[in-house]
Amino acid sequence: RGQVVFVTSVAADGPYEGGAGYCGAKAAERMIAGTMRLELVDQPVRIAEISPGMVRTEEFSLTRYEGDAERAEQVYAGVAEPLTAEDIAECVAWVASRPAHVNIERLTVRPRAQAAQHKVHRVLD
């Protein structure tokens, strides 16, 4: 019995400006997960995908904005509680802990303030 968990992104659902590489890579990961699920259906292996929305990490926005810390910080400006890496780790653990006959195909996880990839509630001073 086995479990493969892909951590993709809601960026796999659609493009955003400046996100060609990231959106494309995450969409490709989603296709790989789906293909593996089809090809291994007769094996005791579960293939799951966790698709996070806005997760505040030190590296992501800095990489996206090529080290521009001020611009990177604006991604999370006014968002009361973006997700954390720990939130996603808990999702991975939950998916992996399901009974062997249960496969969580895709779990989309967003902070409550993010209704869609492009719609984020912000409270600014």
Quick one: pLDDT at residue 73?
86
Domain that holds residue 114: 2-120
**Is 19 inside a domain boundary?**
yes
CATH (domain of 79): 3.40.50.720
Number of domains in the chain: 1
- Cα gap 43→62, rounded to integer Å: 40
State the catalytic residues.
22
Q: What DSSP line would sit under 11-46, residue for residue?
A: GGGS--TT-HHHHHHHHHHHHHHHHHHHHTTTTTEE
pTM: 0.89
Quick one: pLDDT at residue 75?
86
Stretch (H or E) spanning 109: strand 106-109
**Is 73 inside a domain boundary?**
yes
**Is 100 inside a domain boundary?**
yes
Q: Could you report the per-residue pLDDT of 70-125, keeping only the tens digit for each?
A: 888 888 889 989 999 999 999 999 999 999 999 999 999 999 999 998 899 999 87
Higher pLDDT, 90 or 63: 90
Q: Could you report the per-residue pLDDT of 5-57, keeping only the tens digit for each?
A: 999 999 999 998 888 999 999 999 999 999 999 999 999 999 999 999 999 98
**Is 65 inside a domain boundary?**
yes
**Is 125 inside a domain boundary?**
no
* 3-state DSSP assignment of residue 92: helix
- pLDDT(63) > 90: no
**Is 52 inside a domain boundary?**
yes
Q: State phi, psi for 112 to the nearest 5 degrees.
A: -55, -30
Quick one: pLDDT at residue 68?
86
What amino acid is encoded at 3 in this protein? Q
